[in-house]
């Protein structure tokens, strides 16, 4: 939308689902280290299709802060001393604005780990012989990653937002 936003001082009135959808559709998972472009928006939409009833919107928006902060890969994120605090503060505002619980319910975190399993198998290039123990050994989520274009991902994300009861 082109509006001002202050990530360290998030204000609900400055958060717009259109900005979230557009930014996540243009953000590649894993810092771009994928077989093909694979957006955070597609990741979120696919996860939401497998969410338990009543958790679809929260699941869809579980990475919404990345629209404003970017997707920091896990091996780096754990070393950024205040990033998680900044991310949690922003997610609390997003959750309040769109009406879902924060911190995320355990079911959403479990889905995210299973989604990472699907991504490991379908979207990410793995060096042979590397230790990937940070990728928890959970069964992969039963989804097919299609490597949507940003335009398709943005539309699918917005469609899912309204389908799951989101109110802009």
Contact 86, 8 (CB under 8 A): yes
- pLDDT tens series, the chain, 168 aa: 988 999 999 999 999 999 999 999 999 998 898 999 999 999 999 999 999 999 999 999 999 999 999 878 878 888 898 998 999 999 999 999 999 999 999 999 999 999 998 998 899 877 666 666 666 667 899 999 999 999 999 999 999 999 999 998
CA 55 to chain centre: 14
Q: At what angle do helices 40-48 and 106-122 cross, to 10 degrees?
A: 120
86 three-state secondary structure: helix
- The answer to whether the pTM exceeds 0.85 is yes
């Amino acid at each position: 939308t082109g509006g001002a936003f202050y990530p360290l001082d998030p204000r609900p009135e400055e958060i717009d689902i259109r900005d979230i959808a557009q930014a996540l559709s243009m953000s590649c998972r894993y810092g771009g280290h994928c077989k093909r472009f694979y957006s955070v928006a597609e990741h979120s939409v696919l996860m939401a299709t497998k969410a338990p009833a009543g958790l679809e919107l929260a699941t869809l928006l579980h990475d919404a802060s990345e629209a404003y902060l970017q997707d920091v890969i896990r091996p780096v994120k754990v070393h950024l001393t205040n990033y998680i605090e900044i991310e949690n503060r922003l997610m609390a505002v997003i959750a309040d604005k769109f009406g879902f619980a924060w911190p995320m319910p355990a079911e959403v975190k479990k889905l995210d780990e299973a989604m990472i399993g699907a991504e490991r198998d379908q979207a990410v290039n793995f060096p042979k012989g590397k230790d990937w123990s940070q990728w928890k050994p959970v069964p992969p989520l039963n989804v097919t990653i299609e490597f949507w274009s940003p335009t398709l991902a943005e539309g699918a994300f917005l469609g899912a937002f309204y389908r799951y009861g989101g109110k802009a």
